[in-house]
Structure 1
Amino acid sequence: MLNFLHSKLKPTIICNCVCEDDYPANNLISNKPNQGFMAFSVTKPPIDLTFNLPHQVEIHQIKLWTSIGALKSTGFEVKIRNNEGIECRIGSAFNITEECITFCRNPIDLSMGKQIQFFRYSQRILDKVTTVIVTIKTTKKCPPVLRKIEIWGLPAQCLNKLTKEKILKIWDDTLYTSPNTNEKISKKTKEEIQALSLIDTNDVPEDFLDEITYNIMIFPMVLPSGKMVDQSTIDRHSQTEEKWGRLPSDPFTGQIFTKDRKPILNLLLKSRIEEYLLKNSYKKEIQSLPRVLGRPIKRRSQPSETQTLSSTLIHLEPKPKRIKVENFMSKTSLEDEIKFALKGIKRYSQISSATEKTDNDNDEDEDDANNHKIEKVIACLSCKSNDNLYRILVCKHLVCKPCLVELSHKNLCSCQTTFKTNEIEKYYI
C-alpha cells in the first residue's frame, strides 16, 4: 500500500481556519510531518482539513496522531468525496485518549493502537476517492491540533495502466531515498529498510521532550504551572504576546511572570539530556543539536570595571603590596635624621632591626595568605577540583558541575547559604 499524503505524490490541503505561525496545515503534507498542525490559540472546534489527492484512490486506512505535546484533540469525523462529487461520512470517534487512532476497513492488527472500522454503507464509495475531509470536533481545552496524518491505499482500478505505473514508480523512489539528504541509496532488503527507519525515528525519553513542541529540549525550564518546556518555546511565546501588547506569561495558564513566579532552569534534567545527546551523537538528527552548558559568553582581553561578573572573564592575579598611609606619612626627613643620629647606639639598632624583621615577616605572611586565598578561590569548595567550575553569586563560592548537581536538589551551598538556580553562572579560568 501507498501513503498518498507523501510529499512526492503532491497532495494539497485546505484549512478553513487561521493557523499558528510555526504550525501551518501544510506541515501535514510536507517533509516534516511530525511538527504538525495547530489552529490559532483563540480558535474553537469544529474545523475542517480538506486533503485533495492528485488521482482517484482506493482507501484502506486513515491514521491520525491526535496530540502535540500537552495539546490534544479528542473528537474526529472523517468524510470522503469521489470524482462525481458524492460526499459521504465514513467514520467518527470521540473521547479519544490514545496517541494514535486508525480508521480502516477490517481491524486486524491490534498493535496499531485504537482501530475504528469504516461505516458499512460507505464501503462502495471508498474505491474512487479524490478528497478526504477530516473534521476536528472536540479538543481537550485547547485549540485544534493534529500532529500527523497518513492515508494508505492503492491506485483506483479505474485508472489506466500508465498512470498506475507512474504512481508506483514515484512511491518506490521514496522508499529508497534518504529522508535527510534526498539522495538515492542502493536497494536494500525490507529488514534493512526497517532498521534504517528505526534509527531515524529517535526513541527519546518522554521527559526530554518539550510539552508544547514535542522536540528535545536544550534548556529545559520549569514553568510556574509545573509544565516543562524549552527556553526557545518561552521566547517565541513572549514575542507573540508582545505583538498584542501583553507581558510575558505562562503559555498554559496565562499567568504573568513576576520576580517570584517565573521559569526556572532544571539543571538535573539538562545534565541527563546532555548525557543522552552525547551517547547518541552518531545520529545525524542529534548532531545538529547543541550540547554546551550555559549560554555563550563574549570573551574580552580587558574586562571593564562597570561590567558585571556574568558577562566578563575573571582574571585572578596576586594583589599588589599595599602601602600603609600611616607609615608613609610618618617617614619624614626629621625621622630619617633621628635614625641616622641614633644609628651608633647598639640597643637602638637591635630594636630597629628586630622591628624591620617583624614587618618583613608580616608582609610575607600577608602575601602567603593572599596566594593561599587565590588557590582556594579557583577550586571547588567541596571536592577541591578545578575542572568545569560554576560560581554561586550569593556566597561567591565556586563549585564543580557534579557538586552543583547535588547541591541543586536542596538549593543549599556547602557553606549553608541558600541560592536559586538563576543565581549560578559559568566560571572561566
Structure 2
Amino acid sequence: MFNFVDSKLAPKVSCKSPATENYEVDNLISSNSVDRIRGFISYPSIKPPVDVEFVFLCPVNIHYIVLNTTVGNQKCSGIELFAKTEHLDYSSIGKSVYNAAGVIFCNSRKYSKYDSYPNFNTSFQKVFFKSDTFKYFLNATGIKVLIFRTDKSVPCLGSVEVWGIPSKTCSKVTVNTITKLATNRCTEFSPTQTIKTEEFIIPEDFKDDLTYEIMTIPMTLPCGKTIDQSTLEKHLESEKCFGRKPCDPFTGVKFNDSLKPVMNVALKSRIDMFMLQNSHRPELLNTKRILGRAISNSSESDTSRERMSVQCDEGDLEVAIANAKRSANFTIFTSDESNSTINKCGACKTESNFLYKILCNHLFCRSCLLELCQSLVCSICNKSFVKNDVKKCYF
C-alpha cells in the first residue's frame, strides 16, 4: 500500500477558509517534516464547518484513512468524509463524532473490529466506511475532510494519511509510475508512528509549578514557587469571581506591598535563550508565545487596575526615573538644547518628563490629574474636559 497524500506522489490540497500564519493547509502534504508536524489550523475567527480537499495523482482503492485531529491545544471532535470519482461528484462515505486524538476510517472488506492494520494507533477511534458507498472509495480521485465540530477550539488537522493501492481502472503504466515514485524515497515520516529520536529534556525550573508547562513570563510568588503570568491571571480571575482578594494560589496568603508576585527576569532570560536555541525541536513547535495584548475597553482597564498588587505602578516608575536623573552618577547623552525646556505641572509645579495634557493644553502630573478627573474642570482656566481628551506627553 501507498500513502497517496505523500509529497512524492504529487497530491493537491486546498481549503477555502483562511489559515493561521505558519499553519497553512499545504503543511499536510509538505515534503518538509517540520512543516508537516505543524499541521493545519484555521484562522482563530473561523468557525466550523471547514472542509479540506485532497486530489490524488490517480484513482485510488482506499483501504484506510488516518486523521490526526489534534494540534497542540486545538482539537476537533466531529469529522465527515467525502469522496469523488472520475464520473461521480462528492458523496459522504463516513461520519464520526468522537472523543479521541484522531479518527481512522477503514474499509470493512479489509479490516474488522478486531483486525486492524499494522502499527494501528489505539488512541484513535476506528470508524468504517458506509457500506453502500464502495463505488466511491474503490475508485476515489479525491477526498474532502469536513470538520463540523470542535472541542472549544478552532478547526485543525494535525496530519492526514490515505493508504491504499491504485484502482483497477488504472493502466499498468500508471501503476508502475506510482510504484517507482513511492519506493524511490527515504523512510517516510508518519506522525502516527513511533519514531526513535534523541531524548529531549526541558529543565524542571522552566516549567510552571501549577500546570507543569514551559513558562513564557515566570512570576515568583511570595511562597517561593514560580508560575507563568497567564496562570497567575487565571487564578486572580477565579478569586475575583468568588469575591476574594488576590492571594497566593499555594498558601492563600493575601498579596500586599511587601508580599506580591515578582517577575523572575533571570529565569525569563534563560527560558528565552533555551527557546531560541531549540526552536527547531518538534516538541516546542506548539508552545505558546505571549506577544502582549492591548486594553481595548473600560472593563479591561478596570481589571488591570485591580491587579496593581501584581504589576508595577506607573507613578512609582516616574519617581524612580526622576530620582535616577538627579543622581551624580547619571550621564546625559542628549544635547543641552533638548534639556533647556523645563516642563512643570500646572498645579503643583513639579518638574517631570511625563505629564498629561488636557483639552485646554495645560499640563498636569499624574496625581493632580486624578484629582481633576473627579470634577472634570481645569484648575487653571476652569474649562471643562472629558477623560478621553487626556493625552500623555513625553519630553
When the two structures are superposed, what TM-score results if normalisation uses the length of structure 1?
0.47
In the alignment, what sits opposite 2:5? 5
CA RMSD of aligned residues (A): 4.0
Structure with the larger helix share: 1
Offset, 1:122: 0.9
Task: For 2:89 and 2:129, locate their aligned partners in 1 and report how far apart those are by CA, in whole Å.
Answer: 17
In the alignment, what sits opposite 1:24? 24
Task: For 2:51 and 2:102, locate their aligned partners in 1 and report how far apart those are by CA, in whole Å.
Answer: 19
Secondary structure at the counterpart of residue 224 of structure 1: helix
Does the 8 Å contact 1:224/1:261 carry over to 2? no
Offset, 1:85: 3.2
Determine which of 92, 117, 129 is the counterpart of 2:128.
Answer: 117
Task: For 2:207 and 2:86, locate their aligned partners in 1 and report how far apart those are by CA, in whole Å.
Answer: 42
Matched, 1:166 2:170: no
Offset, 1:152: 0.7
Determine which of 96, 99, 102 is the counterpart of 1:100.
Answer: 102
Secondary structure at the counterpart of residue 171 of structure 1: helix
Alpha-carbon distance change, 78 to 202 in structure 1, aligned in 2, over 3 angstroms: farther
Taking only the aligned residue pairs, the percentage that are identical comes to 23
Alignment of 1:20-419 (within 5 A): 20-30=20-30, 31=32, 32-94=35-97, 96-105=98-107, 106-107=111-112, 108-109=115-116, 111-112=121-122, 113-176=124-187, 198-200=195-197, 222-225=228-231, 235=289, 237-238=291-292
Does the 8 Å contact 1:66/1:145 carry over to 2? yes
Task: For 2:88 and 2:205, locate their aligned partners in 1 and report how far apart those are by CA, in whole Å.
Answer: 47
When the two structures are superposed, what TM-score results if normalisation uses the length of structure 2?
0.50
Alpha-carbon distance change, 138 to 173 in structure 1, aligned in 2, over 3 angstroms: same
Offset, 1:46: 0.4
Task: For 1:126 and 1:71, locate their aligned partners in 2 and report how far apart those are by CA, in whole Å.
Answer: 29
Offset, 1:259: 6.2
Secondary structure at the counterpart of residue 41 of structure 1: coil
Alignment deviations for residues 111-137 of structure 1 (CA, whole Å, 9 cap, x no partner): 543210110001232111111000000
In the alignment, what sits opposite 1:338? none
In the alignment, what sits opposite 2:387? none
Does the 8 Å contact 2:77/2:100 carry over to 1? no
Does the 8 Å contact 1:155/1:164 carry over to 2? yes
Offset, 1:84: 1.1
Structure possessing the higher radius of gyration over alpha carbons = 1
Task: For 1:86 and 1:201, locate their aligned partners in 2 and report how far apart those are by CA, in whole Å.
Answer: 46
Secondary structure at the counterpart of residue 120 of structure 1: coil
Task: For 2:42 and 2:130, locate their aligned partners in 1 and report how far apart those are by CA, in whole Å.
Answer: 28
Alpha-carbon distance change, 164 to 68 in structure 1, aligned in 2, over 3 angstroms: same
Task: For 2:205 and 2:7, locate their aligned partners in 1 and report how far apart those are by CA, in whole Å.
Answer: 29
Question: For residue 22 of structure 1, what is the amino acid of its counterpart?
Answer: N
Alignment deviations for residues 358-394 of structure 1 (CA, whole Å, 9 cap, x no partner): xxxxxxxxxxxxxxxxxxxxxxxxxxxxxxxxxxxxx
Does the 8 Å contact 1:66/1:73 carry over to 2? yes
Secondary structure at the counterpart of residue 100 of structure 2: coil
- Could you list the runs of 5+ residues in structure 1 that have no partner in the other structure? 180-192, 248-254, 263-304, 308-429
Does the 8 Å contact 1:69/1:210 carry over to 2? no
